[in-house]
Structure 1
Amino acid sequence: MKKQIITGVLVLGLSMSIVGCDTDGTDEPNNSGNQQENIEQGEEQEVKYEFVGDIPDNLIETINNIKNSKGYKVLEEDDDGTIVYIGVGEKPTGGYNIEVEKIDKKNDTINIEVKEISPGQEDMVTQILTYPSVVLKIKDEFENIKVTNSKGESFEKIETKS
């Protein structure tokens, strides 16, 4: 039993450290002469983004208020980028996760595809409610966001009372 708890805590800690890594999600922008032509034709463009590991204090309360809901929410916009929360809601145990699979931009819409991960039937998981989520800072300008999972299901925008 003690070994199971230690294993669960280690897995949870490793998962949290991987999700919290600050990493750039794209390569350098393509400066080819056809870039403007591609934008006008509505082709997919790469998006500059990073994972937010240390959530700013002013956003923690908002995240705590929306973490039960499946969906996405723009948390903050400034000159440095737009912070976006994506969550899958409350889950009954550990072992659930969310991973960003792809981010691109087409016609002023940021398209984010995520993969929802569930524990296997035989997996040892912590017996605690969890709220799998990811927080991104998108550094490109855009008008709209569309979030889908790898099955093509759309995430709804999370609305909060002002």
Structure 2
Amino acid sequence: MMNIFPGLLLAASLCVTGATSMSLPHPTASAPAGKEVVPSAVETVPYEAVAAPYPPAVTEALKKVRKSGGHTVVRANGKAYVVIGAGQKPTGGYRIVTDQVKRTGPHGFTVRVHVQPPAPGALKTQAISYPTLVIALPDQQAQVSVHMR
């Protein structure tokens, strides 16, 4: 009987607090788990914020920009993948958010993103993180200018 009590107490506390176990893939992508298609407007263009699995060339580019930050463009599968890294951050909870993707010419695009820190007072993992974002543009010949704030 005494062996059952700790298990019941733990189960009851999990039910009350609503805690669940969570499994995150490594590395954690800043992009949503699915594909986000932004509808075309006057200035913006459709794009996809994509998550893993990536084409092999995109995976290699992620390795290069992950720790150092910055961006690069990879052309694969008829698309231009814009690979963006924010560099090293002191905790989890940071992510890269797309502000705008705008067409500037026949093959020209401007991508505006910012690094969003964790919310004040939010629980965050106490581990160094490397926020990344991969955006797929429908034009394999895209000439991309990335602005990060």
TM-score (norm 1): 0.64
Q: Which residue of 2 aligns with 1:126?
A: 125
Deviations 1:96-139 (A, max 9, x none): 01111211111342111112111244221101121111111100
CA distance in 2: counterparts of 1:46 and 1:141, whole angstroms: 17
Tell me if structure 2 keeps the 8 A contact 1:52–1:135: yes
Deviations 1:64-112 (A, max 9, x none): 232112211012245x211110111111110101111211111342111
> Structure 1 residues 96 and 146 mapped into 2: Cα distance closer, same or farther (>3 Å)?
same
Q: Which residue of 2 aligns with 1:116?
A: 115
Tell me if structure 1 keeps the 8 A contact 2:80–2:141: no
Q: Which residue of 2 aligns with 1:19?
A: 32
> Structure 1 residues 141 and 104 mapped into 2: Cα distance closer, same or farther (>3 Å)?
farther
SS of equivalent to 2:34: coil
2:90 corresponds to 1:92: yes
Percent identical pairs in the alignment equals 24
Aligned residues: 129
SS of equivalent to 1:82: strand
Q: Please, which runs of 5 or more residues in structure 2 have no aligned partner?
A: 1-13
Q: Please, which runs of 5 or more residues in structure 1 have no aligned partner?
A: 30-43, 154-162
Letter in 1 for 2:89: K
CA distance in 1: counterparts of 2:30 and 2:82, whole angstroms: 19
Who wins on radius of gyration, i.e. which is larger? 2
Tell me if structure 2 keeps the 8 A contact 1:12–1:94: no
SS of equivalent to 2:63: helix
